[in-house]
Structure 1
Amino acid sequence: MQQPVILITGASRGIGAATALLAGEQGYAVCVNYVRNRDAADAVVNAIVAKGGKAMAVAADVAIEGDVIRLFETLDAKLGALTALVNNAGILEQQMRLENMDAARLQRIFMTNVIGSFICAREAVKRMSTALGGKGGGIVNVSSVASRVGGSGEYVDYASSKGAIDTMTIGLAKEVADQGIRVNAVRPGVIYTEIHASGGEAGRVDRVKDAIPMRRGGRAEEVAQAIMWLLSDQASYSTGSFVDVSGGR
């Protein structure tokens, strides 16, 4: 029986790295995708291998279609048939109100967060679909509670990109439900990861945590547990669904 194979985009840090480590512990061969930080990606791979797992790192920018195609072809050649995709790669930019955003910023956000996820999902479906000769599989999209609350005053563009991911999750789930593929999403709340520094406020979690019903920020490992549950047989009748990992927010 072939070892299950998982691809996690943006897996060199944060939620992606935590998910890669957990997948390795659960017996998956792990493809750790990254854009620039080779050292961080290699550290994730080495941690998986050190525990007896199988992993590799592949550089690819999900905002570039050619990179995505090469990423999947590399995985095919080196790890075998894809079992699971985690669409985790995502970016945000400096906290800003909408009236100050330019089109270039919006294009960057939507190319990575939305179009990148669509293209990765497309390539996964081509490989997993029982209608196309595959053996089925699972896709988990990493959305955000921002899709529900809107990101006003800070990240309306990021929040809107995650709203698109929510809709894609529902639509794609219905489209491939009879082809052996389940598509679900997690919506993290305020999580302790490096992404907040990209928005110009590394300490954002501590600033807002008292407004969260549980009065704390979340950990990347808590989100990873939800992702891996959605990919497991324990979630075999769940598709087009969402798990909020947000402390009640």
Structure 2
Amino acid sequence: MDLGLKDKVVVVTGASKGIGLATARLLLQEGAKVAICSVTESHLREAEQELSRLGAVYAEVVDMTQEQSVYAFADHVVEKLGPIDSWVNNVGAQLTKGPDEEEYSDALLEKIYGICFKAAVFGCQAAFRSMKHRGGSIVNISSLGGRCPTTGAATPVRPLKAATNMLSVTMGGEYAAYGVRVNTVMPGYIMTEFNTDHTTDENMKHICAGTLLQRPGQVDEVAMPIVFMCGKGSTFMTGASVEVSGGRGITLNPDYSFRQREKKKD
């Protein structure tokens, strides 16, 4: 399928690693011109070096929780690559309280709110400034936790992911008359660098047991739906949430088909 992304300008925030980097890579393979950002310069420059082999890339260190920094970044993208056609809000972080802490501090909650919600709001608004006279696509990367929350150290993150899902609906309503679509992609448990390094065998067994496909996802398996949402194949989609979780947390007996298959082998 031709997604119509050749020579289109696409921004991917939080793109120095993981899902963001995989998305930027695939967009370049589709012929797009890609702008990426991160708060960590060393990781950003490594990603820039890799991606530049595939096509036109602009990279900038940006704190997406800072409103004016986000708008300045968008202006720089337009100056370097041209008007923005698609924007992927992918900024995120593993933000937890300490193992011996029972309560969340105000400072930690503010940090979580900034990274998990404000960054998406500012990204949507920056994208709309460039798109409102020509249309475009905004994709907010949320989480399966926006539908099926977890309890524990990262508890406040999940309600903010649900807020991000609703943000796509409300922003989609605000921007519809201008031909700007806003959608959400909700990844499940994906083997990013962080998860690869920090997932114990016991936790992986638990994750797989609760997933219809009985395995975790890979970054490219999330990047492909994101890229689809950026292109012309999704022009009648807005305010939608696309879950990419392998069917985690959907049924009470997720291993049913695997058990039935084994019975038929006997």
Q: TM-score, normalised by structure 2?
A: 0.84
State the partner residue of 1:79.
81
RMSD over aligned Cα atoms = 1.9
SS of the residue 2:198 aligns to? coil
Return the letter of the residue paired with 2:167. M
Return the letter of the residue paired with 2:78. D
State the partner residue of 1:19.
23
Return the letter of the residue paired with 1:154. A
State the partner residue of 1:159.
158
State the partner residue of 1:57.
59
State the partner residue of 1:30.
34
Deviation at 1:195, TM superposition (A): 4.1
Return the letter of the residue paired with 2:122. I
| Distance in 2, Cα, partners of 1:58 & 1:237 | 32
| Distance in 1, Cα, partners of 2:194 & 2:157 | 12
1:110 counterpart (95, 108, 113): 113
1:42-53 aligned at under 5 Å gives the runs 42-51=45-54, 53=55
**Does the 8 A contact of 1:87 with 1:120 survive in 2?**
yes
Return the letter of the residue paired with 1:92. Q
State the partner residue of 2:11.
7
| Distance in 1, Cα, partners of 2:70 & 2:14 | 12
| Distance in 1, Cα, partners of 2:62 & 2:175 | 26
Return the letter of the residue paired with 2:9. V
State the partner residue of 1:246.
245
State the partner residue of 2:204.
206
CA 1:213/1:96 → structure 2, altered by over 3 Å: closer, same or farther?
A: farther
Structure with larger Rg: 2
| Distance in 1, Cα, partners of 2:125 & 2:69 | 14
State the partner residue of 2:42.
39
Deviation at 1:232, TM superposition (A): 1.4
SS of the residue 1:149 aligns to? coil
1:117-132 aligned at under 5 Å gives the runs 117-129=120-132
CA deviation string 1:153-174 (max 9, x = no partner) = 2322110110110110111111
Return the letter of the residue paired with 1:102. S
- What is the aligned residue count? 239
| Distance in 2, Cα, partners of 1:56 & 1:231 | 18
